[in-house]
Amino acid sequence: MSFTLGIVGIGQFGSHFAELFAAHPEIDALYAVDSVPERIDAVEARGVRFDKRFETLEDLLASDVDAVAIFTQRWTHGEHALAALRAGKHVYSAVPMAIHEDEIRQITEEVQRTGLVYMMGETSQYNAAVVLARRIHRSGAFGEV
């Protein structure tokens, strides 16, 4: 099952995930939106190509994108996830899910109502230093741990 994915926020976390998503064999098209368009330019300068760029989250959500990955400031995750779910999009979000209990309840209710997928991702799992540490550990270089 292939799909289109829109990255919301191409800052510190989003830029690293853009590279991972661009290499994913099931992602047909990769879209981007960021309040600072130069961040998208910087990721493209490293070789990641976005099929579409959007000026606003609303424009992205009005497009043919199937799912969004949210990497904006943590206090905006709940608001952005709700907007995406209400627009009929699947959601992957960096932690935290939201900062207000009411937003968490609303996200849960939207997922139950729509049947869309919501996944909260622990982003440090994919941090380059953590990935390297796991690789070194597997090689036995740390000795017995």
Token pair recorded at residue 114: 């729509």
Q: Is the pLDDT of residue 58 over 80?
A: yes
Q: What Å distances lie between residue 96 and 8, 24, 35, 58, CA to CA?
A: 15, 24, 20, 21
Q: Which domains does the chain have, with CATH numbers?
A: 3-139 (3.40.50.720)
Is residue 87 within 8 Å of residue 63, measured between CB atoms?
Answer: no
Task: Give the chain's largest Cα–Cα span.
Answer: 52
| DSSP for residue 107 | H
Distance from C-alpha of 117 to C-alpha of 112, rounded to nearest angstrom: 9
Report whether 107 contacts 82 (CB < 8 A).
yes
Query: How do residues 66-101 score in pLDDT, each as one tens digit?
Result: 999 999 999 999 999 999 999 999 999 999 999 999
CB 61 within 8 A of CB 84: yes
Q: Which strands, in side-by-side order, build the sheet including 3-8? A: 52-54, 27-33, 3-8, 67-70, 90-94, 118-121
In tens, the pLDDT along 3-30 reads: 999 999 999 889 999 999 999 999 999 9
Residue 99's pLDDT is 96
